[in-house]
Structure 1
Amino acid sequence: MTIRFTLDGTVLEGEHTFGEDVAEHLSKVVNALHRSKRCVVVTGAGISVSGGIPDFRSANGLYNLVKDRYPSAVLKGKDLFDASLFRDPITTSVFYTFMAELKQVVSKACPTRTHEFVKSLDKDNKLLRCYTQNIDCLEERLEMCCDMTKKQDLRIVQLHGDLNNVICNMCRTLYPFDDVKRDSFREGTPPSCENCENLQVVRELAGKRAVAVGTLRPNVVLYNEHHTQGDQIAEVAAFDVKKRPDMLIVMGTSLKVVGIKRLVKELGKSVHSAAKPGTVLFINNADVGSHSEWDSVFDYHILGKTDDVVERLED
């Protein structure tokens, strides 16, 4: 049974409220964190809101700004993260413009207190891995390794890609997401891939037939789309599950995506099945899903802003 409580001194159990002091429960969580040597963290959009990046499930101001430029587009905010948008040229243009505006917002954002908390776990040699649904790359600004090819140093697994790079839709070459590409996207038009163009020239000089030239898009993974690093991510996750982490902290996510739900449940089961069962903590502003789905996964759910909660955990 998950113990749900807020920092203001209220313990919640389902819809019933008990006038208990949270100090004892909070103390148990803090002690578990201090003892932890193999902590896994899973993060969502909620941890970046205070850094200046909107949570798209609760705020759609940026979407509306883009939608005004394409009044004929029949597209909901959540559809901007679904691969089906590429079936229509108008929604495709909306996507590119939206990503350009999002890149602008992210470039001005800052790592939050919660990002600093994850970094501190790493500094204290407590962090086994952090899996993030975010594409803002704020962890990289804290010099945390996100490179999947560096398995010994890898700390941040970007489940949905990143906004630091763009990728060719044909040859898969990566390029930095610089201002030139951002400005092209803002007009709703993706630039051509330089690598494909160079190959085209070489083929023409060799008298070979012309082939298609790819276009660039942000290096993000949309819903209903194959993740090019999916196999590598699965290998890392399987490794972490086998390492028997002694603590799992899930923060700032609504847990609506099937893949992330599966990952959290697998990691939670691993934490609880160790010789000395560890602690699984959920930190989020709101409840998610049915209690019956998560009661066997989470030991504690602290309702509140992640920045406020991690500050209390480090007091």
Structure 2
Amino acid sequence: MNLSMEEVFAITNRSHRIVALTGAGISVESGIPPFRGKGGLWETMNPMEFAHIRSFRKDPARVWDILLRTMKDTLDKARPNPAHEALFQLEQTGRLQGIITQNIDGLHQAAGNRCVVEFHGSFAKIRCTKCDRTLGIQQLSLTQLPPLCACGGVLRPDCVFFGENIPEETMIKARELTLSCDLMLVVGTSAEVWPAAELPHMAKAAGARIIEINPEPTSLTLHSDGLLQGQAGRLLPKLLAMMT
């Protein structure tokens, strides 16, 4: 069911252990296209061909050239939008305990949030496949493909490719936040991709309220406590203003 801003405020204002589960929709307003759906990156290329770990291991130069160079160019220009900034301000109030994000853009941290569980890793950090050294994406030069570490190892984004598992430590942190919250805000995601999709259901089973903030109803809407329909960049700042 659709909720009004006043109804969402009433629920949020009674909550003291809020967790946000965010997805691609929250970053669209920062100029980052989603991977799935209309206008998504997978409309222009086959993810199994360019985003699977087998493809990267077989021909890292090609994957960097076709997919990862495009992502770097996009993320180099992206900045946090009002939705990211509102979640940072909500954390500052002490009510937002953490963010579980399916995004790999690093924009929650860029906005200032400190407790961020990056469910699918991060493209903001690059890792050597040989010595495990890490560096920031801004330090990376693509004059040579694939880019190489000083040790000679191939550099890769520190995100989860298709065919790789979510790190166990990440799963543990995400579940700890999920089971401890009294309200989960599901922002900019249809929550259909597993295992992240299980988190709202896990939170609800533990007694938390679930509120979606999405432009359209999703498969989660029937199982949530309601949908605040619209763009997160417009709605989250309004909600925060009512709370402060």
| Shorter-normalised TM range | 0.7 to 0.9
Q: Residues 59 and 179 of structure 1: is their aligned pair in 2 closer, same or farther, counting only changes over 3 Å?
A: farther
Matched residue of 1:139: which SS?
helix
**Do residues 236 (structure 1) and 173 (structure 2) align?**
yes
- In the aligned structure 2, how far is the partner of 1:217 from the partner of 1:166? 6
CA contact (8 A) 2:104 2:159 kept: yes
Q: Indicate the SS of the match to 2:94.
A: coil
Q: CA RMSD in A?
A: 2.5
Q: What is the CA-CA distance between 1:50 and the residue it aligns to? A: 1.0
Q: Provide the C-alpha distance between the structure 1 equivalents of 2:179 and 2:32, rounded to a whole number of angstroms.
A: 34
Q: Distance in 1 between matches of 2:189 and 2:31?
A: 17
Matched, 1:226 2:165: yes
Runs of 4+ with deviation above 4 angstroms: 60-64
Q: 1:268 to 1:172 in 2, by over 3 A?
A: farther
Alignment CA distance shift 1:78-1:124 (3 Å): farther
State the match for 2:232 in structure 1: 306
Which of 73, 76, 82 aligns to 1:107? It is 76
- Matched-pair identity in %: 25
Q: 1:48 Cα shift?
A: 0.8
Deviation, 1:61, is 6.9
- In structure 2, relative to structure 1, the CA distance for the partners of 1:111 and 1:165 (3 Å cut) is same
For 1:95-244, list aligned pairs within 5 A.
Answer: 95-97=63-65, 98-145=67-114, 155-178=115-138, 180-184=140-144, 189-195=145-151, 197=152, 214-227=153-166, 230-243=167-180
Aligned equivalents of 1:223, 1:127: Cα separation in 2: 30
Q: Which TM-score applies when normalising by structure 2?
A: 0.86
Residues 41 and 131 of structure 1 are in contact (CA less than 8 Å); yes or no, is this contact kept in structure 2?
A: yes
Contact 2:175 2:199 in 1 (8 A): no
Amino acid across the alignment from 1:96: W
Query: Could you tell me which residue of structure 2 aligns to residue 268 of structure 1?
Result: 204
Q: Map residues 72-87 of structure 1 onto 2, 5 A cutoff.
A: 75-77=45-47, 80-86=50-56
Q: Distance in 1 between matches of 2:39 and 2:62?
A: 18
Counterpart for residue 11 of structure 1: none
CA contact (8 A) 2:8 2:228 kept: no
Deviation at 1:119, TM superposition (A): 0.5
Q: TM-score, normalised by structure 1?
A: 0.68
Equivalent residue number for residue 40 of structure 1: 19
Say if 1:287 and 1:294 are closer, same or farther in 2 by CA, change over 3 A.
closer
String of CA shifts for 1:185-222, please: whole Å, max 9, x gaps.
xxxx2233324x5xxxxxxxxxxxxxxxx311111111
Aligned to 1:16: none
Whose Rg is larger? 1
* Pick aligned residue for 1:248 from 154, 159, 184: 184
Contact 1:130 1:157 in 2 (8 A): yes
- From the superposition, tell whether residues 312 and 178 of structure 1 become closer, same or farther in structure 2 (CA, over 3 Å): closer
Change (3 A) 1:253 1:313: same
1:286 aligns with 2:204: no
